[in-house]
Chain A
């Protein structure tokens, strides 16, 4: 039944060690988003894909990259995680023409 799946649910990495978070969807939605959410803060949009078109937010650090090899999958790569990158990372999808976004359960990243 899961529609937006994120793996892993919890990720521990070391300072500076690259990490990849994954998101997959069974909804066949053409838009996919990555958000970062820190404690007691609103989700912050990092970037999104409209089909294969990549859209980066102006204030997303270069340390964050994304790949979308096909409609179903989207990856978030953090090249050199810093302590400040510890957060919940949320993936969401949306279908063209509609505004409702469907969120995955999130990946909680801890940087040691």
Chain B
């Protein structure tokens, strides 16, 4: 079983739609969680950190469910510029980032 699992998508949504991604992690000792965004042929960039009960940043909301070991990312009012791969990332017990394979989002005009 992979340490971090995500639905690879693609998620094809119209502009203005709300879309949600889920991610599960296997190590219950994991402490920190992140969503990174990666555009095609570019480097990953930190989108949001997810601590304790989650947080919101504008149109983006991240939630953490420790009991079920899953993290979610909600994007409201999708823009064309939101099209990218969203990587679920966990700070592992070995002090390393563990990446999911990413979920591809394509926002259609």
Contacting residue for A40 out of B46, B49, B101, CB 8 A: B101
Would you call B49 and A100 a contact (CB within 8 A)? yes
A interface: dominant SS = loop
Q: Give the contacts of A17-48 with B (CB-CB under 8 A).
A: 40-43, 45, 48
Would you call A90 and B49 a contact (CB within 8 A)? no
Q: A42-B87, A90-B43, A106-B43 are in contact. Are A101 and B97 (CB under 8 A)?
A: yes
Q: A42-B87, A43-B99, A99-B91 are in contact. Are A108 and B45 (CB under 8 A)?
A: no
A42 to B103, CA, bound (A): 11
Report chain A residues within 8 Å CB of B4.
42
Would you call B101 and A103 a contact (CB within 8 A)? no
Would you call A42 and B101 a contact (CB within 8 A)? yes
Measured CB to CB, the closest approach of chain B to A101, in angstroms, equals: 6
Report chain A residues within 8 Å CB of B97.
45, 99, 101
A40 to B87, CA, bound (A): 11
Would you call B49 and A103 a contact (CB within 8 A)? no
Question: Nearest CB to that of B32 among chain A residues?
Answer: A99
A40 to B32, CA, bound (A): 24
Contact mask for chain A residues 94-112; partner B; CB cutoff 8 A; 1 contact, 0 none: 0000011101111010000
Q: Give the contacts of B37-52 with A (CB-CB under 8 A).
A: 41-46, 49
Would you call A88 and B32 a contact (CB within 8 A)? no
Would you call B101 and A41 a contact (CB within 8 A)? yes
Contacting residue for B43 out of A40, A42, A99, A103, CB 8 A: A103
Contact mask for chain B residues 5-40; partner A; CB cutoff 8 A; 1 contact, 0 none: 000100000000000000000000000101000000
Report chain A residues within 8 Å CB of B42.
105-106
Can you add 14 more A-B contacts, CB < 8 Å, to A42-B87, A90-B44, A106-B42?
A42-B100, A42-B101, A42-B102, A43-B44, A45-B96, A90-B43, A99-B32, A100-B49, A101-B97, A103-B44, A103-B45, A105-B42, A106-B43, A108-B41
Enumerate the 4 nearest inter-chain pairs by beta-carbon distance, A residue then B residue, closest first: A42-B99, A103-B43, A42-B101, A99-B91
